[in-house]
Structure 1
Amino acid sequence: MIERMKAAVDRRMILRMAAQAGFGAGLVAVLPRLADALERPDMLAGVRAVVERWVGPGKFPGMVASLGLPGRATEFVARGAEGFTDADAITPDSLFRIYSMTKPVTAMAAMQLIDEGRMGLDQPLHEVLPAFRHMMVQDTYDGSVTALHPAPRPITMRHLLTHTSGLGYTIIQRGPIKALMESKGLVPGQVSRMAVPSLFSQAAVVGLDRFAQALSEVPLVADPGTQWIYSMSLDLMGRVIEVVAGKPFDQYLDETLFRPAGMTSTWFQVPAAEAHRLTTNYGAAGKVLVPIDEASNSIYLDKPAFPFGGAGLVSTPRDYDRFLRMLAQRGTIDGVRVLGEKAVTVGTANMLPEGVLMPATFGGPSGFGAGGRVGHGAEAGVFGWSGAAGTVGMVDMIHGLRSQLFVQFMPPNAFDLLPEFQKALRADIVALLERR
């Protein structure tokens, strides 16, 4: 089964998956009229049908979708159970591994420190972490780890936030650089107690400080500020945050973001008392789902090697919707200011260095902000990202609309669920308008 999963995962999968994080061209233009149609019943009929079609024997045990609009209670669609052998009904309060949807959380925490003047957006990284002062770069991407040249410019905080630092990623790189990373324990995530090839299958170095030090000893795969390359940048940002803030990264997130935002079920380690809410994660072996991280014995019940700022959080659809709603409201929720307005406004806009473009695999022109994709053209204002186990979340910063899908399977391109969900969501919103 593991070998069949390995064949289904490649470095382009992450990019194709992340492209699902928006509504798609043509939808955003109709949103200004949407509020007028909200009194109509069943505003998620199409999404509901997709969820019901994909949940059941031989499909998925359960999933949750949501749509949120300004001034309205979030509409959740939840069907099924938390696992094939778990009788607990899946709900908006079930716990899911959100993987790379952790990245916008970490990045927005960093934007708050920038907003407060405690570090600068274009400040060199080595001013906070001196070990990154003299970085070397591979002459050939994923080539030799001895044919190197000095980085022509320093890595900056902007580079870390936008994946333009030149740092690599264990799940993306190939050849000697991947082997070198793994030998140093640069494995910024976890999947299962069993090894899952092409994902996080090696042992991670213990401690964010040791992670950062080891990463500084590995060559960059590109010159800083020249290319968008999916990377461990947001994991490293976790170390930056704890040095600048003077407290552990996970503690800083809890005190500065989670508690003020009312995100009461978002953790790097699931408390034992909450384990009953955790879903099971599945691996797709062809079209068959096999459990790779069961809730009762999940690796997320253990303390992680360090708080993975790029892929480590477990959260609920309700909690993550609160995060998105807080962004949509420019940093406030329920009358509480969580993040500065400028931190959110800048962080959800295009922050790419001049001349850097997103890969064509994103299905059209787009930018990148603080840990998430930023739509262009008809998708202007849309900010979001997705996770490696089938979760996706986005927010339209112009109209305040939020949408999510939460399910647990890897790799997320093994089925057509995500594009089918996006198509149904577009159709539901258009149908609402046509019934006015």
Structure 2
Amino acid sequence: MPGLTDVLWDSLEARVSSGWCPGLVAGVRIGGEVEVHAAGTYALDDVRPMNPATPFRISSLSKLVGGALALSLVADGTLDLDDDVSRWLPDLAELRVLATPDAPLAVTGPARGPMTLRHLLTMTAGFGIDFGPTPYAAATRDLLWGPTPPALAPDEYMARLGSLPLAAQPGDRWMYHAGADVLSALLPKVAGIPLRDLLAERITGPLGLAGTDFPTGQEEFPAAYEATAGGLLEAAAYQDAFASPPVFESLAGGLVSTVPDFVSFLAALADDVLLPAGLGAQMTSDQLTDAQRPGFAELAGPEESWGFMSAVQTGPGASWSEPGMWGWAGGSGTSAAVYPNGDIGVVFTQRFMAGPDENFDWFWAPFGQARSQAASG
């Protein structure tokens, strides 16, 4: 792609030079050709240059990998999308549901039906992050909220979750994040092997993704930062959570990867290498009903919806985007998406997103320019 990505890489260099973060790595696939660019250094006080092999904590981009891993078990008949997950996770049997979203935890009724794999993948299982001032939000904040993986073994996590009522009937309401942690507890029970081994067997091994795994404690990560009024502050607790093998291997936010690996992973999904074409299309297309969609719109806006562990663009969106585009972002400063024609963009940074209004337009806008130039010849 000689010359096509110059504006994009210049934008990344300018972002680093502005002091927004010490360094970052990005990769693109345009018209089938892949380029990777690294800018800046590992930390404010570490002059080691970023490079394509730099490992990053990818936070919620882990969900895309989790969705693909679960669907690989659907593809071979090990799981069905409508299986009752309490078969493997008995803490989720005999579910109770709050009478109203803001009801006291003791005011419940029975669930209308079981919790299924489909509910977990679409994040409509009835539990998750509640951003309101409700008793449920107060009772679940330490258990269900990120950004670090749960500090509990999976069985203990499931016991605590099962002791709580659901915030909504399974299938009624989209609620973020924790469905992917329950998926992380479910898949090793179904497969009969540790989640790390299942990941290696079905995704990272076949695709040759040597830099993608749960943390081992041997990685040399770049520093992670939070933006404060006084400047960038190292996110010490977050860094500590990835400094050794995790107690809970989390597909909600616990994976580490490199930019080349993640481009390869998305390409394998987009090109129907990783999953049968029909399942891949389901994962990356709108799976929410009209009744469920408002929950996601509260987080991402009216022109986005949710597939199986992936956001999906349904409306016109920004000038650089297209309906049918899919992907997600991670709170630790990561973003990745695939366009309908198979073009791919991935950017990993060291700086936590300041909130839902922060975006990666400084990456996606020049990437869109590069795509337009490629299309015009």
Would the TM-score normalized by the shorter structure come out above 0.5? yes
Q: For 1:414 and 1:132, how far apart are their aligned partners in 2?
A: 31
C-alpha distance 268-367 of structure 1, shift in aligned 2 (>3 A): same
CA-CA distance at 1:372 after TM superposition: 0.5
**Match 2:120 to one of 160, 172, 184:** 160
Q: Which residue of 1 aligns with 2:56?
A: 96
Q: Which residue of 2 aligns with 1:348?
A: 284
**Match 1:128 to one of 88, 100, 103:** 88
C-alpha distance 298-210 of structure 1, shift in aligned 2 (>3 A): closer
Q: For 1:149 and 1:95, how far apart are their aligned partners in 2?
A: 46
Q: For 1:138 and 1:373, how far apart are their aligned partners in 2?
A: 27
Q: Which residue of 1 aligns with 2:176?
A: 230
**Match 2:162 to one of 212, 216, 220:** 216
Q: Which residue of 1 aligns with 2:368?
A: 426
C-alpha distance 354-153 of structure 1, shift in aligned 2 (>3 A): farther
Q: How well do the aligned residues superpose, as a CA RMSD in angstroms?
A: 2.5
**Match 2:246 to one of 304, 313, 316:** 304
Q: Which residue of 1 aligns with 2:136?
A: 177
What does the per-residue CA deviation read over 1:29-52, in whole Å, with 9 as the maximum and x for residues that have no partner?
xxxxxxxxx5xx321233222212
Gaps (5+ residues) in structure 2?
317-321
Contact map agreement 2:120 2:179 (CA 8 A) in 1? yes
Is 1:391–2:334 an aligned residue pair? yes
Q: Which residue of 2 aligns with 1:382?
A: 325
Identity of aligned residues (%): 27
C-alpha distance 231-299 of structure 1, shift in aligned 2 (>3 A): closer
The residue identity in structure 2 corresponding to 1:207 is A
Q: Which residue of 2 aligns with 1:58?
A: 19
Gaps (5+ residues) in structure 1?
1-37, 191-199, 333-337
Q: Helix, strand or coil: the match of 1:359?
A: helix
CA-CA distance at 1:376 after TM superposition: 2.1
Paired residues, what number?
370
Is 1:240–2:186 an aligned residue pair? yes
Q: Which moved more, 1:414-423 or 1:230-239?
A: 414-423
What does the per-residue CA deviation read over 1:212-237, in whole Å, with 9 as the maximum and x for residues that have no partner?
22211111111211121113001101
Contact map agreement 1:68 1:403 (CA 8 A) in 2? yes
Question: TM-score scaled by structure 1?
Answer: 0.78
Q: Which residue of 2 aligns with 1:285?
A: 228
CA-CA distance at 1:105 after TM superposition: 0.6
CA-CA distance at 1:404 after TM superposition: 1.1
C-alpha distance 242-219 of structure 1, shift in aligned 2 (>3 A): same
Contact map agreement 2:71 2:279 (CA 8 A) in 1? yes
The runs of at least 4 aligned residues of structure 1 exceeding 6 Å deviation read none
Question: TM-score scaled by structure 2?
Answer: 0.89
C-alpha distance 318-263 of structure 1, shift in aligned 2 (>3 A): same
Q: Which moved more, 1:409-418 or 1:231-240?
A: 409-418
The residue identity in structure 1 corresponding to 2:336 is G
Q: For 2:108 and 2:134, how far apart are their aligned partners in 1?
A: 15
* Counterparts of residues 318-329 of structure 1 (less than 5 Å): 318-329=260-271
CA-CA distance at 1:136 after TM superposition: 1.6
Q: For 2:217 and 2:258, how far apart are their aligned partners in 1?
A: 14
Contact map agreement 2:288 2:307 (CA 8 A) in 1? yes
C-alpha distance 65-317 of structure 1, shift in aligned 2 (>3 A): same
C-alpha distance 84-394 of structure 1, shift in aligned 2 (>3 A): same
Q: For 1:219 and 1:225, how far apart are their aligned partners in 2?
A: 15
Contact map agreement 2:147 2:331 (CA 8 A) in 1? no
Contact map agreement 2:56 2:348 (CA 8 A) in 1? yes
Q: For 1:187 and 1:377, how far apart are their aligned partners in 2?
A: 29
